[in-house]
Amino acid sequence: MNSRRQFLQKLTASLITVPFLPLEDLSAPAGPDNTPYAGPVLRVAIMGLGGYANRVAEAMRACKKAKIAGVVSGTPAKITDWQTRFRIPDKNCYNYTNFDKMIDNPDIDAVYVITPNGLHHDHVIRAAKAGKHVICEKPMAVNAKEGQEMVDACKKANVQLLVGYRMHFEPKTLEIIRMRNAGEFGKVQFFQGLSGFVIGDPTQWRLNKQLAGGGAMMDIGIYSVNGMRYMLGEEPIWVTAEETKTDPVKFAVGVDETIQFQAGFPSGAIASCLSTYNMNFLDRFFLTGEKGFAELNPATGYGPILGRTNKGELSFLHVAHQTIQMEEMSDIILKGKQPIVPVNGEEAVKDLKIIDAIYKAAKEGKKILL
């Protein structure tokens, strides 16, 4: 198992339902009344054509409001394959050296950056300077300083910067947030987030400090960091953390294996979370309040997400997360829609500041105030 994405895929493979259009029909899908969608369509160039990019691309076949218009890759064979599958013209194909020329291409509105974490900073800023809106996979950067530089660069270029927080659009997650906002759980007191799996290939980029920016925390732990914020609806004011490393060869200096971290919030609520590359079957969020509770298990896999509260099971039709994400992001970029849970660059910087503090707390062995 080479990555978190492969782990999540295998964990929920028997449950996945992904709505695909056949390869021969790449026109905009029809609406519920079989009338073709006539609104604006976000034309996206995918940068980095690895496993997750393929998942995003296949899910986008079902999108009405977003379509694949271009690619950026350093592997010519991948570009040829994608051209065949998605009917991408030669003029919309770029490599990492020349994609700045996208500034002269009016057929591309946005670039979706799906490259290793350590490359996001450069790729996002260059795409912004090329005049394109940017969607960047999480973590948006390897630290808060670089993240803020990316936000500033996109503002300067007058383009939007969004982050691939697909769970911010997931129906069961949003229902729990609705219930919390409505006071159905009473005063919320505690959140638990468990995020982890046993990582495979020791030579992969996710175990390379320079490319990954860290280890499990940057790859899978960020789900609990982000999740505690949207589940509790607050920003933490302190964190503590402790790192455990059982294999210092596989997990070199700067590449975390397992970190337990806690956070405190202004309301008095607390969070207790685990991020690991050394334990399987960890994908659970739990929230409890004075009047009720909510649980998602799995909480962040590719789906279906399974959820329940003190009032019973949560039941919503499963649609591929990436399909919903890209439909919503099209509306955010083209129509100015405001999502229930933000997915902008500023939101990502908040996560990165917390991750920076968690690493500091683990290193110094003391509580870090935020």
Question: Among the options 67, 132, 138, 172, which is catalytic?
Answer: 138
Is 138 assigned a catalytic role?
A: yes
Question: Among the options 94, 112, 223, 359, which is catalytic?
Answer: 223
Q: pTM for this structure?
A: 0.91
Burial of 336 (0-12, 13-18, 19+ CB in 10 A): exposed
Rounded distance between C-alpha atoms, residue 297 and residue 307, angstroms = 6
Per-residue pLDDT of the chain (370 residues; tens, 9 = 90+): 455 555 454 444 433 333 333 322 333 444 434 568 899 999 999 999 999 999 999 999 999 999 999 999 999 999 999 999 999 999 999 999 999 999 999 999 999 999 999 999 999 999 999 999 999 999 999 999 999 999 999 999 999 999 999 999 999 999 999 999 999 999 999 999 999 999 999 999 999 999 999 999 999 999 999 999 999 999 999 999 999 999 999 999 999 999 999 999 999 999 999 999 999 999 999 999 999 999 999 999 998 999 999 999 999 999 999 999 999 999 999 999 999 999 999 999 999 999 999 999 999 999 999 9
Structure tokens, 79: 């570009």
Rounded distance between C-alpha atoms, residue 71 and residue 211, angstroms = 21
Rounded distance between C-alpha atoms, residue 114 and residue 198, angstroms = 22
Helix (H, G, I), strand (E, B) or coil at 37: coil
- Decide: 281 and 1 in contact? Cβ < 8 Å: no
User: Which residue's entry shows tokens 């499990």?
Assistant: 216
Q: Please, what are the domains in the chain?
A: 15-165 (3.40.50.720), 167-317+342-369 (3.30.360.10)
Rounded to a whole number of angstroms, the CA Rg of the chain reads: 20
